[in-house]
Structures are given as C-alpha cells and as structure tokens.
Amino acid sequence: MSRCSRCESLPDLSEAGVLYLAPPLAHTQGTLQRILLESGLPFEEPSEDILAIEITPEGLRSLSKLLVDGLSEAELMDCKAVLIEKGSAFDLGALPRMQDLATLTAVVRGEWLVEMMREDRLAVHFQPIVSAASPEKVFAYECLLRGLDKEGGFVSPGDMFGVAKRAGLLFNLDREARIKAILEASGFGLEHNIFINFNPRSIYDPVSCLKSTMSAIGRSDLSPERIVFEITESEEIKDEKQLKRILDFYRERGFKVALDDLGAGYSSLNLLASLRPDFVKLDVGLVRDVDSDPYRAAIAAKLLELAKDLGITVVAEGVETEEQWRWLVTHGADFVQGFFFARPASPPPVPA
C-alpha cells in the first residue's frame, strides 16, 4: 500500500532553478514580460507561449511580490507555473508538478509555514469536553493544533490553515495535525476519548492519504473506540460522496465520527441527514447569548430536540458563561465545551 506523496512531501524553494510560466493570454504574457524587464530578471521564451526565468530563492521571493501586485487574481489562477531544478530539462516529468501561479506565490509567501512543519514546531493543546449535567466529569479532550514561531511564541491555527489553503499545503498541515494529536495524546497517557479534527479536502484517497495516520495510531496506546474524527469546515464540503468514503474508512476500523458547526448553515442539516454522525457539535454562534437571545434559543432548542430524536449525541461548544451552561443543561445537551470550564492547554487541563 503506497503512501501519499503529496501529504508527506513539502515544497523546497531553497535551491536556484528555472521558473517556467505558461500565461493564459497574450495580454498576461505581455504583463509578465514587462514585470520581468522592470525587475531586471533575465528570461527566455523557449516557445511562443512559455517564459523561462533562471532564478535564485531570493529572486523568487522578490518576483512573487511583483507578480501578486501586477497580475489580477484570475490571471494568477490561470497562469501555470513550475520550478525546475537548475540544469534539468523541462520534460513530461515536470507536468505533475505544475500548479497555478497563485498557489506558487502563496507557497513563497508561506515559507514560514513550510519551515515550521519541517522543523516540527507544532504543538497540541487539549480542551476538555465535559458532561453537561456533571461538568467535573471529563468525557473527552479535543486536540487543537498550535504553531510555534522561532522565539517559542504561539501561532494561531487560523493563520496556519489560512496560508495552507492558499498555498496548497492543506494536505500536509492536516496530516501533521492528526499525527501530532495522536502522539501527544498517547504521550500524556490520556484515558479519555479524544476528538481529532480533519478537513475532508485534505484527503484524496483515504487508503493512501490516511496510511500514516493509521500507522501512528497503531504505534500508540490509543484504541480506535476512543478516537472520534471530527469533520471541520463542514459548510465548505462540496463532494459529499467522497466524504462518505472517508467516514466509511474510519468506521470500518472502529472509530467514531463527529460533525461540527451544526446550525451554522443549511448544508450542515443536509450532512446530518446523509452522514448520520455519532456526535454533532452545536455551533458556537448559536451557543453565544443562547440564554438571552430568543431567536438563537429557539433554533438551538429545535436542533437539540432533533438530535435527540435521531439518537445523536450533542456537544455544545463555545460555552463561556454559567447562564449559557445552565440553559444547555435544561434543554438537553449531552456534553459541553468552552472557556467556562477550561481553556485549551498542554498538559491536558482539568476543568474548573
């Protein structure tokens, strides 16, 4: 069974090379030529519609900024690019590595993220999921990724995943997050359930893309029945058939699955019907002010009632006040999670 080369290899921009650009239009080609002339970078035209620029890593960083400033978003998306090692010929072997220019420039600007993953400057913080009726009882811990800058300061997951999406690094970062969560949860000897986030867009084929994740679980002391794989960014899911394949892969191996952000959009209700998850996370936007906003309260109450009718366990996340917690207990939430009980931390915190 082969591993996923896309998930497990990081782009290397540390060597000089030749950048080949294939612009979509003559107008775009003219703009590229002007940018290159103004930058002083020598270039050739090996064929009528191709530009070839011999470039250093520093030159690529400078050119990347000029390209982002000088081309429209549509031109960056439609212009194809590939960076070839200096001295190598451009041949059919380069085709699988071609990407749109928008992605390449995002990779250049996101070098810090590549470096962070390469140097393993990633950490996991754990947030307890507790019984709604008895919040001193920890049911599970959600594993939340954090990055570390070179000075040891934290980098938010929003910054990391934002860059990863633009730079085509979501496969890499999502894989790193899953494996890091497994290793650290095992290292702390957690005996509770653990929730591990995954983005379905980071997985092409579950057999190959999740091989390293399954291998990490196999090396740990975590049993499958204690692991819940939580679908993130459910509102962006477009390929429901592919998502079902991934969930079937997990379930066949004894894992449970959770759907986050229930109530965040119409799509989450469709997914609830078709995926039939073991857990749902009530969206933080509904939990906020649920005790004082009659509209949020009405929607949240109906969703809790719906989940109960379907036999799905509900975790209400984003609980920050005692009033929110008491409302959720009264209306039948099974578990709760939020700053009111404990902030994410490492080692795994005990709820106050």
Query: What's the pLDDT tens digit per position in 69-115?
Result: 999 999 999 999 999 987 777 777 677 788 999 999 999 999 999 99
- What homologous superfamily is domain 5-109 in, according to CATH? ACT domain (3.30.70.260)
Q: Are 129 and 141 in contact (CB under 8 A)?
A: yes
Three-point CA angle 101, 106, 108, nearest 5°: 100
Q: Average of pLDDT values for 149-171?
A: 93
CATH number of 120-336: 3.20.20.450
Predicted model pTM: 0.89
CA–CA gap between residue 152 and residue 279 (Å, rounded): 35
Least confident range of 11-15, 194-198, 329-333: 11-15
Q: Are 289 and 320 in contact (CB under 8 A)?
A: no
Three-state DSSP class for 84? strand
Query: Does position 343 have pLDDT exceeding 80, yes or no?
Result: yes
Q: Average of pLDDT values for 133-148?
A: 96
Q: Are 155 and 148 in contact (CB under 8 A)?
A: yes
**Residue 1 pLDDT level (bands cut at 50, 70, 90):** very low
Q: Are 328 and 105 in contact (CB under 8 A)?
A: no
